[in-house]
Structure 1
Amino acid sequence: MATTQQRQTQQQASSSRRRPARAVAALAAAALLAGTTAVTAFRVADADGPTPVPQLLAFLPWLAVPAGLGLLGALLARRRVLAVWGAALVALLAWYTVPRGGDHDPAGSPVADLRVLTANLQFGQAVGPLVDLVRQERPDLVFVQECDPACMDALTSRLTATHPHRRAVAGGGPVGSVIHSRLPLTAAAGVPASMGQPGAVIEVAGHQVRLQLAHPSPPIPERLTTWRAELEDLRHWAGERAAAGNAEAVAEDTPVILAGDFNASRDHAAFRRLLDDGGLNDAAALAGAARRATWPVTGAPAPGVQIDHVLVSPAFTARDARFPAMEGSDHRAVLVTLTLHR
């Protein structure tokens, strides 16, 4: 009898100790799930929301970590409602994270290939690695962001033999941008922005192709309005297939390559509107690399996001997307082979 009573007493004591632990686990799970749900709700609503939502939406796939921890806490706490909430949230995040866009098949026959490289040099600090990359990979077009005057001079002198044609917007710090090309460039008005966004036209096997470099403002709290406006301007430009109403505008159905550091991922509503309303495809997605991170490159394992893109009109297919690191820059370059179709 005494043994039975002792066992019952021990069980009651153990149960009493578990109750506070489960309560703490349930509270922590609810907090994690609530915070993650609040951000994910803006993705569901197709909106970017106020700070800090746009900054967190960039890392939407990584929200599966707090959501998964919330689910684990709910299971440990034996809270059925929390567990169902956590499972549904993890499933929703997984659905949004699954890469899409690799089944594009233009009806026209292939005309020519173009190798396109876009690179953010972080205030011109990665000039040498970019030059080495260009000489090694031999892209036809090179879109460069954050290239200050010294960077411009270095690229002009070191790429003259292979990429003598250029269109640039000069500026210090992150403002300067340039397009270098193996093929002749015709002037075209770029899309105005707080950082340089030059434009041009090239001819590929008798077909005109409109080029536009993209570098809208980053979505930091004090520049969030500018970020939205400059992505909207790019969306408007892409929808018109013209150089912002300028007399240099090319024909509406001219194929387009819009490349650069967009400071936005596919989880931002503003970027999705640019794709949809502009009738554009992400070349990395077409090549099966929609979620490969391009920023930040810190040298240590860290959550990353793809904010550098090569966007193309439906006349293009894409393959062989690669993301080389460049010493001195916190961005990876994007290198992709495009095929222009009739």
Structure 2
Amino acid sequence: MEHATAPPTAPEDPFPDDAPTRRPGRWRASAWTAGLLLAGVSAVLGCRAADTDAVTPVPQVLAFLPWLLAPAVLALLLAAYGRWRVGLVWAVAVLGGLAWYMEPYGKVGEPDGPPLADLRVLAANVEFGHGAPGLVEAVRKHKPDLVFVSECDRACQDTLREGLPKSAYPHRVAAGGDGADGSVILADVPLKRAEGVRGTLGMPGAVADVKGVAVRLQLAHPMPPTPGGVDRWRTELGALRDFAAAGDGRPTVLAGDFNATQDHAAFRRILGTGLHDAARLAGASRTPTWPTLLPRPFGAQIDHVLTTPDFAAHEARFLTLGNTDHRAVLLDLTLHRP
């Protein structure tokens, strides 16, 4: 008597059909959570790829683009746990896109002309002048040739006058006065006042005489991209771009608190005029300068020293001054003869 044999059973698919009705509740919850995380990260990444800062909250999140790796990795794990194949592919693509944009932007060579002069540049936001005593100590220690100070009110400027000998920094150009409005450029090389970029906060300009070469100087301090203030932030960064574009190749240093990172389209448009980020040249394009409340490597690099291709950058340091939410940027530059 023959016995009927049961047909062989197919091995269980470790990634069953994506239909939510076929999954246990915990799988569905994991897949939905992964989808929400990926949708948010993808929206910001899409704006980065489209070269736009869009609207709130995209500009604010773009400042911390590298840290979107955390929700993307979490989404990958949740998609794996929820056995959601589409989500796995989506998460891998998002992680690849983030990794691509985390790479330093642009490839820059050395200047062609012979070296003319070494310049040490320091840019610091002293937060309503509270960081002025720490700035005085840093300047005394590191002896920069050019100092760009944002949010330096009248009391802060008095502290700098008292703490730094006039013989060391005889040349000063200031703009604004009270609170965050005040800014000042100090120099141990001759300065001639120039028309600064107009903005909500003081942004002085000058021309420095560096061994007979006129170097344009401009302090940058546009308003931050707060909710409701993105248009003003974009406009003031655009004014800084216009200043950079008007240089016609003349040696230029544009430094300060830009309230923007390399992941903001409005900032990259300034670089598009031919300026280079000196921290990038020195291999430190992602070192955070704000906020000091977060330990390194967390935070965002929103303070920059931008230069024309006449300058080479050798070393970048980021100084904690105390009593300010920004780290100061210290760059060693070499001006090459045009």
Q: TM-score, normalised by structure 1?
A: 0.90
Structure 1 position 314 matched with structure 2 position 309? yes
Q: What is the letter of the counterpart of residue 199 of structure 2?
A: A
Deviation at 1:236, TM superposition (A): 0.9
Deviation at 1:328, TM superposition (A): 0.2
Q: Quick one: which of 225, 235, 245 aligns to 1:239?
A: 245
Partner of 1:211: 217
Q: What is the letter of the counterpart of residue 121 of structure 1?
A: V
After alignment, is 322-331 or 200-209 more displaced?
Answer: 200-209
Long gaps (5+) in structure 1: 1-14, 242-251
Q: How does 1:253-272 map to 2 (within 5 A)?
A: 253-272=249-268
Do the aligned partners of 1:101 and 1:286 also contact (CA within 8 Å) in 2? no
Per-residue CA deviations over 1:92-148 (Å, capped at 9, x if unaligned) read 101100124464211111111100000000100011110000000000000000011
How many residues are matched? 318
Per-residue CA deviations over 1:307-335 (Å, capped at 9, x if unaligned) read 00000001111011000111100000000
Q: Quick one: which of 290, 294, 299 aligns to 1:295?
A: 290
Partner of 2:203: 197
Do the aligned partners of 2:176 and 2:201 also contact (CA within 8 Å) in 1? no
Q: What is the letter of the counterpart of residue 221 of structure 1?
A: P
Per-residue CA deviations over 1:203-223 (Å, capped at 9, x if unaligned) read 112211010000001000122
- 1:222 is paired with a residue whose SS is coil
Q: TM-score, normalised by structure 2?
A: 0.91
Q: What is the letter of the counterpart of residue 289 of structure 1?
A: A
Counting aligned pairs with the same residue, the percent is 53
Deviation at 1:75, TM superposition (A): 1.1
Structure 1 position 44 matched with structure 2 position 53? no
Structure 1 position 141 matched with structure 2 position 146? yes
Deviation at 1:237, TM superposition (A): 1.2
After alignment, is 295-304 or 285-294 more displaced?
Answer: 295-304
Partner of 1:64: 69
- Give me the CA root mean square deviation: 1.8
Structure 1 position 98 matched with structure 2 position 103? yes
Aligned CA distance change for structure 1 residues 330 and 102 (closer, same or farther; 3 Å): farther
Aligned CA distance change for structure 1 residues 301 and 282 (closer, same or farther; 3 Å): closer
Q: What is the letter of the counterpart of residue 275 of structure 1?
A: L
Task: Tell me which stretches of 4 or more aligned residues in structure 1 moved more than 3 Å.
Answer: 100-103, 299-303
After alignment, is 94-103 or 210-219 more displaced?
Answer: 94-103
Per-residue CA deviations over 1:73-96 (Å, capped at 9, x if unaligned) read 111111111000000101110110
In 2, the alpha carbon distance for the partners of 1:141 and 1:306 equals 20
Structure 1 position 225 matched with structure 2 position 231? yes
Structure 1 position 123 matched with structure 2 position 128? yes
Q: What is the letter of the counterpart of residue 261 of structure 2?
A: S
Deviation at 1:301, TM superposition (A): 6.5
- 1:336 is paired with a residue whose SS is strand
In 2, the alpha carbon distance for the partners of 1:215 and 1:99 equals 23
Deviation at 1:226, TM superposition (A): 0.8
Partner of 1:179: 185
Partner of 1:326: 321
Structure 1 position 73 matched with structure 2 position 78? yes
Long gaps (5+) in structure 2: 1-15
In 1, the alpha carbon distance for the partners of 2:233 and 2:141 equals 34
Deviation at 1:170, TM superposition (A): 2.8
- 1:180 is paired with a residue whose SS is strand
Deviation at 1:21, TM superposition (A): 1.3
In 1, the alpha carbon distance for the partners of 2:263 and 2:279 equals 15
Q: What is the letter of the counterpart of residue 227 of structure 1?
A: W
Deviation at 1:273, TM superposition (A): 0.6
After alignment, is 301-310 or 200-209 more displaced?
Answer: 301-310
Per-residue CA deviations over 1:39-83 (Å, capped at 9, x if unaligned) read 111001000001111001111111111111111111111111100
Deviation at 1:303, TM superposition (A): 3.3
Aligned CA distance change for structure 1 residues 155 and 340 (closer, same or farther; 3 Å): same
Per-residue CA deviations over 1:261-287 (Å, capped at 9, x if unaligned) read 0000000000001110x2100000000
